Every structure is written in structure tokens, then in C-alpha cells.
Amino acid sequence: MDSQDVTNLLTLGLGAATVWLGFETRRVAIATKESVELQSLPYLALSGLEATVGTRINLVTGLEDRAVRLGLRLSNPGQVLINYEVESIEVVFADAVAQNPQFETRGGVIHPKAETIFYYPWIFAAVPLRPGLNGEVRFRINFWSSLLRVNHVASRLRYTLQGNDLSRIEWLYLDGPSYA
């Protein structure tokens, strides 16, 4: 084998290595692009429920009415600021619902890796408040990081009040969560 053959073999080897490196560089670039796109997507999750127990004096009867205010703990596990708007929500507590609920707000913003609580109006219960009382929540929430694409999450869940102060809540999804 003379020097010309060795040179040709080395050139062929370098050409093959260059083609292989080109394919690998393209594969890494595609993976990097997908990773960056995933990090720029908005995410919204229900991370828990909170209950506040209170009372009010009924001016007609003079008696104390017990009430519960449920809060949905919404979190943003993503990397971008999101806006959210509660499109619809229905809360049932011990077969009671708030009639014509008046919301202080229907949405807001959640910073990356942060959470907020969306409060439902007070529900006045016709039964004494005690551990084991339960109810259902059904909601649909719109969220976005850019108005060019609005995402939705919808779900239905059952919850049960626990503990002596009724502040601990156990909950499970009945439907969903479904994202669109």
C-alpha cells in the first residue's frame, strides 16, 4: 500500500466522521430545541385545597350560621409567568351551594415555581360542621403565557374535611384533570 492509498483511506475516514458528526449535531440541536420549547410552555396545576371555617350572625333569627370557604391552591411548576382566569367553578358542600356567588376576582398571575389560592365565596351549611363532611368541586380554568395560545384545565373532584379544626382536606379526582 503506497502513500496515496493511505491518504485516500484517511480522507474517506475523515469524510465519514464529518457526516456522522453532522447527523449527531442535528440530533442534539433538535433535542435542545424541544427542551427549550417545553421550558417556555405555560403549566398550571391544582396542588391542594384549603378550607376556612367561620360564622355569621343571622339578623333574622339571631342565631349563628356556620360557613365554609374553600380555596383552590393553584401552582405554576413551569418556567414562565402565567395568567389564569377561572371560566367556571361550582362548589358543593354537604349538599349546600352558594346562591349567586359573588367573586372578588376571577383570575390573576402566578410566577414561575410559585402558587396562589383562588377562593370560592362562603357557603353556609344547614348541618353542624364536623369532620367527615364532604362535597364536590367542578372547575374549568383558562391559563396562558401569551394570548396567542390559551390553554385550559378542567376537573371534578371530591373532598372531605378532616381534623378537629376541619382545616385538613383529603381530596381525589373524579374526572380529569384534562388539559386542552
| 28 and 70 housed in the same domain | no
For residue 172, give Cα distances in angstroms to 85, 87, 129, 137, 157.
Answer: 23, 21, 21, 10, 6
Domain of residue 121, residue span: 45-179
| 32 and 95 housed in the same domain | no
Say how many domains are in the chain: 2
Q: Which residues pair with 53 in a beta bridge?
A: 68
Q: What is the pLDDT of residues 84-116, one digit of tens each?
A: 999 999 998 887 777 678 888 899 999 999 999
| 30 and 82 housed in the same domain | no
| 5 and 85 housed in the same domain | no
| 132 and 165 housed in the same domain | yes
pLDDT band for position 55 (cuts 50, 70, 90): confident
| 76 and 160 housed in the same domain | yes
Instruction: Say how far apart CA 68 and CA 121 lie, in whole Å.
Output: 9
| 153 and 98 housed in the same domain | yes
DSSP state, residue 83: E
Instruction: Say how far apart CA 44 and CA 142 lie, in whole Å.
Output: 9
Contact 137, 161 (CB under 8 A): no
pLDDT band for position 32 (cuts 50, 70, 90): low
pLDDT band for position 67 (cuts 50, 70, 90): confident
Instruction: Supply the pLDDT for residue 89.
Output: 93
| 35 and 95 housed in the same domain | no
Higher pLDDT, 19 or 119: 119
DSSP state, residue 96: B
* CATH (domain of 105): 2.60.40
For the chain, how are helix, strand and coil distributed in percent, rounded to 5?
Answer: 20, 50, 30
For residue 30, give Cα distances in angstroms to 24, 91, 165.
Answer: 10, 45, 53
In degrees rounded to 5, what are phi and psi of residue 10? -65, -40
Q: Average pLDDT for residues 3-10, to the nearest whole number?
A: 81
Instruction: Supply the pLDDT for residue 36.
Output: 65
| 57 and 140 housed in the same domain | yes
Range in 7-11, 38-42, 141-145, 173-177 with the lowest mean pLDDT: 38-42
Query: Hey, what's the cell of 48?
Result: 391542594
pLDDT at 123 over 90: no
| 35 and 50 housed in the same domain | no
| 25 and 84 housed in the same domain | no
| 110 and 170 housed in the same domain | yes
Instruction: Say how far apart CA 72 and CA 120 lie, in whole Å.
Output: 8
